[in-house]
Amino acid sequence: MKKQLLSLIALILVMTLLAASALADPIRVAIVQPLTHTSLNQIRDTIIAELEGSEVEVELITRNAEGDGPALTTILENLRQEGVDILVPIATNTAQSAKNIFADGDVPVVFAAVSDPVAAGLTADDAAFITGVSNNIPAAEIVKLITDCQPDYKKIGFVYTSSEVNSVSTIRAAEAYCDANGIPYEEVSIADLSELQTAVETLISKDVDALYTGNDNSIASAMSTYIDIAYEYGIPVYCGADSMVADGGFATIGVDYVQLGRQVAQLVLRIAAGEQPQDIPYETLSEYAKFVNLQAAGRIGLTLGEDVLASYNVLVEADGTSHFGK
């Protein structure tokens, strides 16, 4: 009789726990991006897929400011009022805005794709509630990429958006490497996309052999304009991400945004399980992408050596067939 009673009590406890679990509210995760372009979409979609495929019950909220700065602020303020459990801002400006709007630290923030979290102020004492994954690219690898594909190049042209901390940081690191190794370069920054054509033409007039743009969200959203100008003059466009190569850039040793999205999702799940952001140092990418666009090579008349083709993944074939996302 006693054993039966204990078994009944145990069964009631199990059923109670299961019922409580079933009634528990899902974890509200908000993903916010500043605008639409391939890289940011890929990060968002990967995070969503990873979270939905986990054992954690989540309610996903996605917001996109579509390039509108005031709208981005409004989105974050509304999410603050509505209440979320974890916030995932994509890109540096979004993460910086999130830091300011969620400054009381009640909501954990997991940023995605911030090139220089230190320079962006996301690792300071007032950012203990923030962690995430950086998309920093080693400067030496940028120059090595150009050297691999164009052994006889004489000068590099750097194009970036002056208001994007992530982009400025990447270019400054590349320029420092060039200075230390006696590599000539020119740079032009833009304030908005209306200046992109003039910027590219200015660099071409200064006899650059190669153009490089890192993780620059604005320019990534205007790759067709960028490459049309550069390729008309036979100048290859090197990029900071595989998505930019998929959109017409020539080559990258840079960010694999699927890998980045997976790492971000894992941090979200760790926090959902009870870990605190201040106990999780921000991460860098565990691996980098090496991709080349053979259609772009054909447009500029550049023949790649077998050694390059053997060490780089072909993202776009000469006939335009894309392997991006496969």
Judge whether 25-135+257-284 and 139-255+288-316 match in fold. yes
Predicted confidence at residue 63, as pLDDT, reads: 98
From the list 154, 144, 164, 153, the residue with the least C-alpha distance to 254 is 144
The reported pLDDT for the residue numbered 115 is 86
Mean pLDDT of the 235-245 span: 92
- List the structure tokens of 219: 């320019």
∠ CA 110-113-118, nearest 5°, is: 75
Distance CA 142, CA 321 (A): 25
Summarised one tens digit per residue, pLDDT across range 196-222 is: 999 999 999 999 999 999 989 899 999
Look up the pTM and report it: 0.73
pLDDT at 12: 53
User: Would you kindly state where each structural domain of the chain is located, as residue ranges?
Assistant: 25-135+257-284, 139-255+288-316
Mean pLDDT of 251-256: 86
Contact 268, 88 (CB under 8 A): yes
> CA 280, CA 45: separation in Å to the nearest integer?
23
Residue 13 confidence (pLDDT) above 60? no
User: Which residues, 6 or more positions from 1, have their beta carbon under 8 angstroms from its beta carbon?
Assistant: none
Rounded Cα distance between 282 and 266, Å, is: 12
Distance CA 238, CA 64 (A): 27
If 0-12 CB within 10 Å is exposed, 13-18 middle and 19+ buried, where does residue 183 land?
A: middle
Q: What are phi and psi of 222, to 5 degrees?
A: -130, 40
Give the CATH class of 25-135+257-284: alpha beta
Type of residue at 248: G
Joined together, the tokens standing for residue 185 give 């370069």
CATH code for the part of the protein at 139-255+288-316: 3.40.50.2300
Q: Could you give the count of Cα atoms lying within 13 Å of 90 in the half-sphere of its Cβ? A: 34
Q: Round to whole Å and give the CA distance between 121 and 119.
A: 5
